[in-house]
Structure 1
Amino acid sequence: MDREELLSATPEDSGEPQKKKESPLVSLEKDLEFYADAIKEVSIEIMVEGISKNPIFIAHQHEVSIGEVILNKEELGTDWTIQASTVEEFVEKGIISKEKREPFLRAYKKPENFMCVFVIVPEGANFIYYPYKND
């Protein structure tokens, strides 16, 4: 038995390898693709209304207390709920420290081309930039 077989053996020791659990990011990408137009619309609204130049969208599968729900997974039959927020709220709530605000903004990609998504999974959370498809 090689190392891979040993690491993937079932606890029952049946010798059958376990199926690898699909990363939640696979379903996230599918949902972001599906949600892209709606997210872009909200992003533009946040900027045009002067709320923020830096919208942030939170993708999660549980409940979070930041931002406002814009796309509910239960209502839409998807895997991820999306909430809209701003860099200002992230700083206010201490998710981005005041000292890290400027470096974050320097790395922030053009909101016309990318959605900034704060992805929350049980193992932790991180920012990703997901490109809008060109029309």
Structure 2
Amino acid sequence: MDREDLLGAGAPGEEQKKSPLLSLEKDLRFYMESIKEVAVEIMVEGISAHPVFVAHQHQVNLGEMILDKEELNTEWTIHASTLEEFIEKGVIDPKRKEQFLKSYKKPEDFMCLFVIVPEGANFVYYPYKA
């Protein structure tokens, strides 16, 4: 899923539904430097070559909270995690690891987000220079 999918960009002439995820893009712009810092730290410390950030508005038991919407007066909370934790907790089937890695974008340029909304969850890649 790319940025356009996240924001609900439809075909030209198609009626646009205002995505509740527009608030996520606003928060990501605000969080961008902090998220990139944590991604670099995860990679430099050898924790993982594949950082994954969990964006949610409710309680989630995945990763460690790094940005709290309550403290920061924003709409989304962000947790830092890794591909390895996603496999360990069964979010990604070990058999699908290679498929995931093929779609995983360069972590120096894109944050890998696992966005959780009431309708479900999906991976989204958001550029650090949006």
Q: Give the TM bin, normalised by the shorter chain.
A: 0.7 to 0.9
Q: 2:49 aligns with which of 43, 48, 53?
A: 53
Distance apart, 1:21 and its partner CA: 7.6
Q: 2:72 aligns with which of 51, 55, 76?
A: 76
Aligned to 2:22: 26
- RMSD of aligned Cα (Å): 1.4
- Counterpart residue type for residue 110 of structure 2: F
Counting matched residue pairs gives 115
1:67 aligns with 2:58: no
Q: Which runs of 5+ in 2 are unaligned?
A: 1-15
- The structure with higher relative contact order (CA 8 Å, sep 6+) is 2
Answer with 1 or 2: which has the greater Rg: 1
Aligned to 1:10: none
The TM-score with structure 1 as length reference comes to 0.82
Counterpart CA distance in 1 for 2:110 and 2:88 is 23
Q: Which runs of 5+ in 1 are unaligned?
A: 1-19
- Counterpart residue type for residue 57 of structure 1: F
- Counterpart residue type for residue 85 of structure 2: E
Distance apart, 1:133 and its partner CA: 1.1
Q: Which runs of 4+ in 1 moved over 4 A?
A: none
Worse-matched range after superposition: 125-134 or 94-103: 125-134
